[in-house]
Structure 1
Amino acid sequence: MANRPDPPCWRFRAMAPSEPNQNPIQGEFFSAHLPERFIRESVQNSLDARAGPKPVTVRFTISGSNGAVPGERADRYLTGLQPHFEAVMRAESANAERDSDRRRELQGREALLKGPLPFLVVEDFGTKGLLGDITANDIQARGNDFWGFFRSIGISPKDEDAGGSWGLGKWVFPDASKLNAFLGVTLRAGEQRFLLMGQTMLKLHELGGRKYPPVGFFAAGSDEDDKDWLPMPVESAGLPSDGGGSGEPDAACFVHAALSDFGLRPDGDAGTSVVIPHPMDELTDPTNLARAVIRQYFHPIIAGDLVVEIASPDEPGRRIDAATIVDEAHRTGDGAEDDPEQRAAALIRVIELDKWGQRQEDGLVEADARRSKPAIAPDQVESLRARYREGRRLAFRVWSKVGGKANSFKVFLEGDDSLAGGHDYYVRGHLQIPQMDYLTRHHARALIVVDNTSDLGHLLRDAEGPAHEKWRADAPRLKEKGWPAAAERVREVQNAAARILEALAEKPADVRRDALSDLFPGDTGGRRGPGPGRPRPPPVPPENRFSLRIDRVPGGFRLKPAGNADPSGRTFAVRMAYDVARGTTKTAFSRFDAGFRAGYPDFSLRNGQLHMQSEDCEADVRSENELHLRVRGPDFSLGVTGFDERDLVVKVLPLVGEIAASPEAEARAP
């Protein structure tokens, strides 16, 4: 067995020749800017570890250069990391030989291993710490938070009521560091010892003729060989012998030295602290952190469940709580934000709406999310419409059913004629779900709040991806968990505010049934035939006829040529709708149009919900369910996927001025 140094160090397990090569891809699941995803994931972990009724406090501390750990003490936290980090940087630099800026950046990172160590600390208070058996490394260690934080990737030990569920959110911690590493210190409820361990997420690399995986650990010294080694945390014992002094502490006092060097947990309260060495530049601006906190977590802050503190040497400390959140939103401003819903003025308006809504428990109006029921009871519509017309806010308890059991969620509304389009915000438990936009046709602001502990909250959590940014009606985990009618439940919540606003509208939108008669000369749900005074189109010569084919594919359809005629240069209108159990193609398109006019279409080609793959053709989206297809080559192909499990009706017709297809292409696909 190899002799290991007694002090803690960074260590990588050499790979066996038979092990597959794999680089980390967790970052591909997170699209938000770094401050947004860093705040989102770190605060979510803290809220999930809440210890009792008192609010969770999350404290961010930026050291700056003056508060950095001096170089003579910084080495103790980097021992063993340097050769592996440099090997990765050299390989990355070689791959970036044509990108001089990227190469200089990578080479500059190597210099970070020498000299002072600036840091960013995230600490939570009012939490339980990382509970669980520190020696466990099972395939699934349910309830073991220590295992989930340090020893699992893509597997979560959290229960159904938690905000997170994928086991990938901790990726933000190495991603936040220029060294791709972090240290974690936890004091668990009911214990007197601190536990310290670290993790780095680099890339597959070679060193000294051996191959190493991306993941390495900062852990206690061990005499075990690589193949038997399980990284174990460094445990505190007794009082520090030399604290944060210049000498090297012995193993028993190492944790106390770290607490002193990084200023961790001064009051000795249970919770977890994460140290980000050499944080990315955008995370050293306290305004960036404050802005992200307000955008992502205004709801639990207003509810009194969360307090966030930000300390920086460059400004007075910030405290964001229910009393100060509006002032802090003014203070942070808009930044470079293009999304009008995320600008300070819009956030302040939804904060005020949320504050009002959380006081309305006894004044909620009953509503129904199911399409088979009216959104609002008919005898209440007129009085509610009058209140809405007067500019008064409205609060609803909206009912749905999950597995036959009644579930409800809340919708808070206010009209705002200054809005170019509707603004809607969705919250599940404490977590905002930001990438949804279903309130486009009304000058109104809506906040939809779902109880995370309800069956509906559990279903919606399974409709989210790893970044928890969107509810997808076709999410694979909905089927894996066996949720009944899951797609319909997701759409009900997404469209609830739009249905209520449509019921409150002064007059439903007029239906112009022949509006598309020129574009679709066949039966499109309008009047049959060409109509009075309209000449029928001339017959198409057989030699100019060509046909198209619609194939079923998982989650959608694919459009391809059929027959011998070449459709190159032609342009078609492609229209789609979900099929109906009773009725014709006309009924299916009429139902989609009705949903669109009400502000809650079944799907949309415009909001990223559907995905298109094209070859030798161009697709121009013209509406939620219509695109124009320009064919460039005889072997063209257009695939559209992302639909839910319902059958789909697809209609393809030539645009005005084109030679007609024969026959008109129409198909149903699941």
Structure 2
Amino acid sequence: MKHWEIGFDRDGVPQLQEGFLVCEDFGTRGLGGDPLLARDPDPAGNEREDFFWFWRNIGRSGKTGDDLGRWGLGKTVYRAASQVGCMFGLTVRADDRRQLLMGQAVLRIHEWEGQEYVPEGYWCGGVEERTGLPLPIEEASELDQFRREWKLSRSPDEPGLSVVVPYAAPELKGTHLLQAICVHFFLPILRGELIVDLVTPDTGEVRLDQKSLEERSRSVKWDGPKRSKRHVAPPIDFVKRCLPVQSQAVPTKLLGQTKLPELSSEAFEPQTLEKLRNQFASEKLTAIKVQMALPRRQGPDEVGELHVFLRRQPDGERADTYYVREGMTITKLNSRAGLRGVRALVIVEKGPLASLLGDSEGPAHEDWDTSEDRPDRTWTKWKGRVKFCRRIVDDLTELLTTPTTKADFDLLSDFFSIEKTRAPQRSRMPHPEGNGRPKFGDIPAKPRWYRLDGRRAGFRIAHNAGQPLPKNPRLRVSVAYDLPSGNPIKKWSPFDFEFGKSPQLKLSGKSIKATAQAGNILLLTVEGERFSFVADGFDEHRDLLVRIDELTSDDAVEEVES
């Protein structure tokens, strides 16, 4: 234990804050398979070697694309929660009712009397003579003693797994566990698929089930980090309204059959889209089932589905968006629509799309990330589909929002307001036509010889047809992510992006030369009338500010090649 820098008293007891954690699952099958298996199972076999994957293998999992986890790192969380890097596990197997008990501690690679040892050490019932494999404890008296000492609830005839974490980390508080359970698993709890009993010194005995979850979540102090959605209670009432109408969700056409999926008016029949827009504008709950083609590396395309529930808040209050894959909340995903008063829930049920998104999540299951390589084993053209799922709420909100055709004279009143005077004002003569409405003169248009078009994750600059080019046409283009206050251009940071150095930025053009003046400033020299310039690869979840300045021949420009 010296590798953990732990002190011991005279009796050999670690000088650590005492406390232990017990996690027991019920209604499961336990760790089945061959306890003597020492090598990787046959991939073509039908046996689920759960015991091997849990105890014999480090950092990998036998779970498939239809299972909630993926990486085989979930079990390491137990050891990480122990101040001594240790855990015990007692399983009762559903198939043969065998009870198997083992323990494991992980140090570093270390030496003892000149012999180097691997990090993993086992508490077991002996070793197999031929292979040296640690064997589980099956002696009835030892199993009963283990149950009593660690206060387990599991009886010998209840299949499942009980994990004990000794010397649990002191920062592991019951309130934090309660927050995490409410946020990560509210959906299966509300569906009646999961019941969680939590007993800790700071929370007492708490049961989270279909009836109690809403009340319990209200009583929790939500003071956790925003990035993990532990700063506010999950929208239990909204989810309860969504679940009964899930089967009635309006389906889209099958998207992405010949190109990457996108949500446009062509995704629905015209009358269906009109009905959905009216429903959304009336602040009613709108349920949509998005369907897309998922091309596999081998075999025909699969059809992926996700359900999206939207409701515009009457008061326009901001709301977090919740994305749930197979019952587990993916906490780092959110939407810009929530900032504009749209409450939303995205549910991905078990199936091909859940398999793809699960492989894209990474070990922590916090985000749908296109930098992972696991999906490459099964899917092609999958990155654009993952991005499509990430922005599904924003795209649907934009599609369902009816474009306004009336002038809103109060739109900018918060920014350009004039305080109402209390002194009496002179009355004005009525207008000859009698309507009293102000008349605005025509403002002559001053078209420029170039135009700026927005693109997803970028922008495009091109010749404005019909406008002549000036002599020696040049443009200085300054780019930055927009900010709520201050000058975004001046506050630009190279941590956001840097022209010529950020590999995700893709610059292309025709009849134009682009050089970098600074990390966020480009000089564009036009070399032909039908010119165009495109910049892609910016963060699509942030607002991009693009400023264009025309340069005359007298302007001094210091050019730095990109």
TM-score by length of 2: 0.71
> Percent of aligned positions with the same letter in both sequences?
25
* Paired letter, 2:187: H
Q: 1:290 to 1:662 in 2, by over 3 A?
A: closer
- Contiguous gaps of at least 5 residues in structure 1: 1-84, 91-105, 238-252, 541-547, 560-565, 576-582, 593-602, 608-622, 629-650, 666-670
Distance 1:229 1:319 in 2: 43
Partner of 1:501: 397
Partner of 1:355: 240
Distance 2:188 2:539 in 1: 33
Structure 1 counterpart of 2:287, from 372, 375, 395: 395
- Which has the larger displacement, 261-270 or 176-185? 261-270
TM-fit CA distance, 1:475: 2.4
* Paired letter, 2:262: R
Partner of 1:605: 539
Cα-to-partner distance string for 1:10-32 (whole Å, 9 max, x where unaligned) = xxxxxxxxxxxxxxxxxxxxxxx
Distance 1:475 1:116 in 2: 39
Other structure's SS at 2:355 match: helix
* Paired letter, 1:160: G
The alignment status of 1:273 with 2:162, answered yes or no, reads yes
The alignment status of 1:492 with 2:388, answered yes or no, reads yes
Partner of 1:459: 356
Q: 1:428 to 1:196 in 2, by over 3 A?
A: same
Distance 2:268 2:239 in 1: 21
TM-fit CA distance, 1:426: 1.3
* Paired letter, 1:504: L
Distance 2:366 2:49 in 1: 26
Distance 1:174 1:312 in 2: 19
RMSD: 4.4
Distance 1:490 1:385 in 2: 25
Structure 1 counterpart of 2:22, from 109, 121, 131: 121
TM-fit CA distance, 1:235: 0.8
The alignment status of 1:219 with 2:129, answered yes or no, reads no
Distance 1:513 1:277 in 2: 73
Cα-to-partner distance string for 1:324-348 (whole Å, 9 max, x where unaligned) = 1111111212124345954334x1x
Q: 1:280 to 1:114 in 2, by over 3 A?
A: closer
Other structure's SS at 1:281 match: coil
TM-fit CA distance, 1:533: 12
Distance 2:310 2:225 in 1: 24
Structure 2 counterpart of 1:306, from 194, 199, 206: 194
Structure 1 counterpart of 2:32, from 131, 139, 143: 131
TM-score by length of 1: 0.61
Partner of 2:342: 444
- Aligned residue pairs: how many? 467
For the Cα contact (< 8 Å) 1:195–1:235, is it kept in 2? Answer: yes
Partner of 1:573: 521
Q: 1:363 to 1:216 in 2, by over 3 A?
A: same
Distance 2:244 2:228 in 1: 27
The 5 Å alignment of 1:66-215 reads 85-86=1-2, 88-90=3-5, 106-107=6-7, 112-113=13-14, 118-140=19-41, 143-215=48-120
Cα-to-partner distance string for 1:457-501 (whole Å, 9 max, x where unaligned) = 2121222212221112342122232x1321222122222222221
Q: 1:538 to 1:501 in 2, by over 3 A?
A: closer
For the Cα contact (< 8 Å) 1:551–1:558, is it kept in 2? Answer: no
- Which has the larger displacement, 394-403 or 176-185? 394-403
Q: 1:137 to 1:199 in 2, by over 3 A?
A: same
Partner of 1:38: none
Distance 1:275 1:202 in 2: 18
Cα-to-partner distance string for 1:198-220 (whole Å, 9 max, x where unaligned) = 11122222333332222111111
Partner of 1:102: none
TM-fit CA distance, 1:126: 0.6
Q: Which has the higher helix share?
A: 1
For the Cα contact (< 8 Å) 1:177–1:279, is it kept in 2? Answer: yes
For the Cα contact (< 8 Å) 1:426–1:433, is it kept in 2? Answer: yes
The 5 Å alignment of 1:210-359 reads 210-222=115-127, 224=129, 228-237=131-140, 253-268=141-156, 269-283=158-172, 285-313=173-201, 315-339=203-227, 341-345=229-233, 347=234, 349=235, 351-359=236-244
Distance 1:476 1:625 in 2: 29
For the Cα contact (< 8 Å) 2:505–2:538, is it kept in 1? Answer: no
For the Cα contact (< 8 Å) 1:141–1:147, is it kept in 2? Answer: no
Structure 1 counterpart of 2:270, from 378, 389, 392: 378
Distance 1:223 1:459 in 2: 40
Distance 1:393 1:184 in 2: 45
Partner of 1:469: 366
Partner of 1:525: 461
Other structure's SS at 1:158 match: coil
Other structure's SS at 1:413 match: strand
Higher relative contact order structure (alpha carbons within 8 Å, sequence separation ≥ 6) = 1
TM-fit CA distance, 1:109: 10
Distance 1:286 1:539 in 2: 59
Partner of 2:433: none
The alignment status of 1:430 with 2:333, answered yes or no, reads no
Q: 1:340 to 1:166 in 2, by over 3 A?
A: closer
Distance 2:179 2:448 in 1: 49
Distance 2:79 2:38 in 1: 21
Distance 1:372 1:446 in 2: 17
For the Cα contact (< 8 Å) 2:359–2:375, is it kept in 1? Answer: yes
The 5 Å alignment of 1:618-629 reads none
Other structure's SS at 1:359 match: helix
Other structure's SS at 1:380 match: helix
For the Cα contact (< 8 Å) 1:513–1:525, is it kept in 2? Answer: no
* Paired letter, 1:605: D
TM-fit CA distance, 1:372: 7.1
For the Cα contact (< 8 Å) 1:399–1:407, is it kept in 2? Answer: yes
TM-fit CA distance, 1:392: 1.3
Distance 1:585 1:221 in 2: 74
TM-fit CA distance, 1:556: 6.2
Q: 1:417 to 1:471 in 2, by over 3 A?
A: same
Other structure's SS at 2:288 match: strand
For the Cα contact (< 8 Å) 1:471–1:490, is it kept in 2? Answer: yes
Cα-to-partner distance string for 1:364-421 (whole Å, 9 max, x where unaligned) = 1122553275344321233322322222111111111123343321111111265675
Other structure's SS at 1:358 match: helix
Other structure's SS at 1:165 match: coil
Distance 1:219 1:118 in 2: 23
- Which has the larger displacement, 109-118 or 374-383? 109-118
Partner of 1:40: none
Other structure's SS at 1:423 match: coil
Q: 1:328 to 1:552 in 2, by over 3 A?
A: closer
Q: 1:315 to 1:662 in 2, by over 3 A?
A: closer
For the Cα contact (< 8 Å) 2:29–2:93, is it kept in 1? Answer: yes
Other structure's SS at 1:282 match: coil
- Which has the larger displacement, 178-187 or 530-539? 530-539
Cα-to-partner distance string for 1:270-312 (whole Å, 9 max, x where unaligned) = 11000010101122x3221111101111111111111100113
Other structure's SS at 2:197 match: strand
* Paired letter, 1:446: A
Other structure's SS at 1:473 match: coil
Q: 1:192 to 1:549 in 2, by over 3 A?
A: closer
Q: 1:377 to 1:202 in 2, by over 3 A?
A: farther
For the Cα contact (< 8 Å) 1:282–1:288, is it kept in 2? Answer: no
* Paired letter, 1:445: R
Q: 1:390 to 1:282 in 2, by over 3 A?
A: same
Distance 1:299 1:418 in 2: 26
Other structure's SS at 2:362 match: coil
Distance 1:114 1:342 in 2: 32
Partner of 1:367: 252
